[in-house]
Each structure stands twice: as structure tokens, then as C-alpha cells.
Amino acid sequence: MKMNTLTLAVVLGLGSTSVIANTDVAELEQRINELEARLVKTEQVTEEANDQASSFEFHGYARAGLLINDNLNGATGTGPYMTAAGAIGAPIGRLGVEDDNYVEANLIHNRYLDDGSSARFHIMLADSVETNNEWTAEESQLNVRQVYSELANLRAFSDSEALSNATFWAGKRFDRANYDIHFLDSDIVFLSGTGAGVYDAQLSDDWKANFSIYGRDFGNIDSSSTDIENYIATMNNWVGNWQFMLSGMTASDNKELTQGSADKGFHALLAYHADSFYGAGEGFAKSGVLFGDGLGAELKGIGSNGLLTEDAQAVRVFTYGVTRFAENWRAAPSFMAEYSQDRFEKNDEFAWASVNLRLAQEFTENFEMVYEGSYQYMDLDNATDKASGSFYKATIAPTLKLSTSKGFFDRPELRFAVSYVDWSEDLNDYAVSLDTDAATMGDGGEVLFALQMETWF
């Protein structure tokens, strides 16, 4: 009995414990119910917020700042295309010589369907002014540079090996596959205009290709003038690290607009995109050669120049890379050179080569010293006048940024820069253009001071 009583006591004790546990469990169940209800609501609101947030994207590029010459006045005529050869696309290192306040603002609308297909609408507003003042209505260049739509991963093509991951587009745009040598402010090719095309057609396991048709206009476009359009058909291929791009173009009646001008053209690019710094370290390197004929002889801005002659020919080579070569040092060498003949006139002949080295020395996570040396040789003969010689630039730029460890392409950067620029006397007052009011390099030997920001996102 004692035992039983004990048993009972234990049982009752346990029972009472169990009753408490049951109450606890019911309470917990109640709390879980509430949590579930709240989570359902939160998931819903989250999805809505996410949908709304992801339907819009804002991206941009901008540079702005002061550029002061050694007379304590605004520097004029400077920039990466400041040399006589700049008129035919020869860049020098950009650090510390850019004076424009330039901005690109991209507004993007995305639409996602549950089946995985999506649409993307993109507009880009851009502006470039030299004035330091803030009300720039008179100088404003504000304009819409891009307006296009894309359709991707369309369900109807899901069984097509070639098109299941393809992106279709139409409108006005910069080609998606353009890429540049940032340090020279020069695209390798800058294919752009109004048209349509398809990206990421999978032609075989290793072979991806883009196809596009772009139209461009020559001359001023208004209702009274002749409307000459240049149509460019492009095939851009990637096989492993190799890129091979072919473009043909035709511009009816362009011969009539300007005597001797070409009405068709051809353009080719062969490039290698290396995953390391020339096999010698971390980073990357890109190298290639471009060739153009007739309207295709404007090697960067494919099909953008209606003044090229039928016999125009140009060849360009480039290479650049980015690496880290010590704990706190980074380097980015670039090289670009071009030879062209019969470009604007029979027997004109232009040769130039640019070499540039940007170095960054990281002091802290937020501060680095950036150095740039730039050299350009040019030998220019516009069939009337000749000039040849060299351009030199050296720049040192203390720079603030969020994260120096993230390398050359982390932005924004706030920088102070001092540059010395000079060139051969032979180049003073020479211009490629035969226009009497064509801009020339003037005299060299100048120190430039810059206070600048540059960003992209």
C-alpha cells in the first residue's frame, strides 16, 4: 500500500507534470498557429516587396569634377582623345585628364513569368557638359542613348537546343557584347544603333553566337535632308576563350551624299579572353586584332562613319590585362595600335600606337595611390600635311574608395590627380581634318590638377 501510495503519488506527480506539459503543448501549438499565420502574411508581403523591388533596376556611370591648368583656370581640349591621332580614335590614358561632367542613368523594368521567361525594358539617359555650374540648360546634352526591350528564355523555344537560353531584342541599344579598355576609355568595338537581334544562340556545345542587324544614320537627320542609313549585319561568336566577330554593312546612296565615300563595308574581330594575366598571374587579359574595309574601316564604332572612302582599310591590334603583383600593388598595362590608309582621302596614311600602364598601391582599405604613365606614337599623313611624334603623360592620383582590395573596378572613386602632359613640337597645331577650324593639340608642356569622382553601379 505504501508502495501503491507511492506509486500513486508518483503517478499523480507525473500526472500533474503531464498536465502542465499538455498545457504547455497547447500553448505552444497556439503560438505556432499564430506564427504560421504571421509568416503566411509576411511571406506574401515579402514576395510583393521583392516583386516590386526586382521589377525596377537603376544603374549608372558617371564622372564629374574639376580640371585645373597651371594658370589656375579650367583646362580645355584635354581628355583621352586629346592628341592629333585622337580624331581617328587613338586614346591615351584617361586618369587625370578628363574634364567633362558625364553621366549615364539606366532605368530598367523587368517582368518575370512563372514559366521562367522574362522581359526586360531598358532606357539610358546620358549627358555630358563641361561647365562647372549647376544650371546647365543651355549647355545640356541630355539625351536618350538607349531604348530597347529583350525577351529571354521563351517557353516556345524550350525544346530548341539553339534558342532555349536565347535572348531576343529590338530597339536602340549598345550591343551587349561590347567591351572596353577602361584605362584608355576605348571600347574594343562599340557596336550600337537601332535594330534587332538574338543573343546566346547555342550553335553547338562549345559554340555560342549572337546575330544582329543595326541601322545607323549618316549626316543630319531631318525631314528636309537626305536620309542615308547604314545597315550592319553582325555575327559574333564565342568558342571557348576565343571570340570571332564578322560584320558586313551597306549604305545605299552614301556615294551620292559625299563623293568618293564607300557604300559598303566589312569588319572583323578576332580576340582571346584569357582567364589569367597572360598566364603569369591572377587577373585576366584580353588580346585581339581588328580589320576593316570601306565603311568597316572605322574599327571601334562599327559602321558609324559615312566619310570613309571605298578603298579605306584599317587594322588594329590591342592587348590589356589586369593583375595583382604584390600584397598591395596592382597593375593594368594596355596596348593599342592602328594602321589605316585611304581613310578619308586617296593616299592618306595614319599610324599610331598607344601604351599605358596604370598602377595602384594600396595603403589602407580605403586609400590608395594610383599612378599612370601613358605614351603614344603617331605618324599622320592626311594626304595634304604630315606630322609625326610622341605624346607623354604621367599622373599620380591619391584615391579614396570603399574597398581597395576589390581592385581596379571597384567604384566610386574620389581622387585628386596631378598630371604632366607633353608632346613633340612637330605635332603642335596639326589636325587630321582638313577643315580650317579643326581643333588641334596646341602647345604641350602643361600641368593639370584634378578633383574628380568616378562611379558605376
Residue closer to its own copies, measured from CB, 52 or 259:
52
Q: Under rule CB under 8 A, which residues in 415-444 are in contact with its own copies?
A: 415-416, 439
Stretch that binds its own copies, among 125-133, 239-247, 276-284, 332-340 (CB under 8 A): 125-133
- Residue 332: CB minimum distance to its own copies, A: 22
**Residue 209's CB: how many other CB atoms inside 10 A?**
20
Helix (H, G, I), strand (E, B) or coil at 61: strand
Residue closer to its own copies, measured from CB, 48 or 275:
48
Distance (Å, rounded) from C-alpha 178 to C-alpha 170? 17
The size of the interface with its own copies (CB under 8 A), counted in residues, is: 140
Question: Per rule CB under 8 A, is residue 180 in the interface with its own copies?
Answer: no
Cell numbers standing for residue 141: 546634352
Q: Torsion angle, CA of 398/402/408/414, rounded to 10 degrees?
A: -40
Q: Under rule CB under 8 A, which residues in 348-377 are in contact with its own copies?
A: 364-367
Distance (Å, rounded) from C-alpha 345 to C-alpha 325? 46
Stretch that binds its own copies, among 131-139, 279-287, 345-353, 420-428 (CB under 8 A): 131-139
* Burial category of 25 from C-beta neighbours within 10 Å (exposed 0-12, middle 13-18, buried 19 and up): exposed
Closest CA to 172 of 144, 211, 200, 198: 144
One of 87, 147, 246, 396 touching its own copies (CB under 8 A)? 147
Residue closer to its own copies, measured from CB, 72 or 326:
72
* Residue 314 CA to its chain's centroid (Å): 24
Q: Under rule CB under 8 A, which residues in 73-92 are in contact with its own copies?
A: 73-74, 76-77
Residue closer to its own copies, measured from CB, 36 or 282:
36
Question: Per rule CB under 8 A, is residue 127 in the interface with its own copies?
Answer: yes
Question: Per rule CB under 8 A, is residue 160 in the interface with its own copies?
Answer: no
Q: Under rule CB under 8 A, which residues in 248-287 are in contact with its own copies?
A: 250, 252-253
**Which DSSP letter does residue 397 get?**
E
- Residue 118: CB minimum distance to its own copies, A: 8
Residue tagged 507534470 (cell numbers): 17
Residue closer to its own copies, measured from CB, 424 or 455:
455
One of 315, 414, 418, 447 touching its own copies (CB under 8 A)? 414
Distance (Å, rounded) from C-alpha 6 to C-alpha 343? 111
* Burial category of 32 from C-beta neighbours within 10 Å (exposed 0-12, middle 13-18, buried 19 and up): exposed
One of 7, 241, 276, 347 touching its own copies (CB under 8 A)? 7
**Which DSSP letter does residue 74 get?**
B
Distance (Å, rounded) from C-alpha 333 to C-alpha 25? 69
Distance (Å, rounded) from C-alpha 81 to C-alpha 94? 9
Using an 8 Å Cβ cutoff, are 337 and 316 in contact?
yes
One of 87, 121, 258, 289 touching its own copies (CB under 8 A)? 121
One of 138, 205, 327, 435 touching its own copies (CB under 8 A)? 138
177: left (phi over 0), alpha (psi -120 to 50) or beta: alpha
Question: Per rule CB under 8 A, is residue 55 in the interface with its own copies?
Answer: yes
- Residue 278: CB minimum distance to its own copies, A: 32
x-or-dash string of contact with its own copies, 193-232, rule CB under 8 A: xxxx----------------xxxxx--xxxx---xxx-x-
Question: Per rule CB under 8 A, is residue 400 in the interface with its own copies?
Answer: yes
One of 88, 90, 93, 169 touching its own copies (CB under 8 A)? 169
- Residue 236: CB minimum distance to its own copies, A: 18
Using an 8 Å Cβ cutoff, are 243 and 270 in contact?
yes
Distance (Å, rounded) from C-alpha 162 to C-alpha 198? 11
- Residue 54: CB minimum distance to its own copies, A: 6
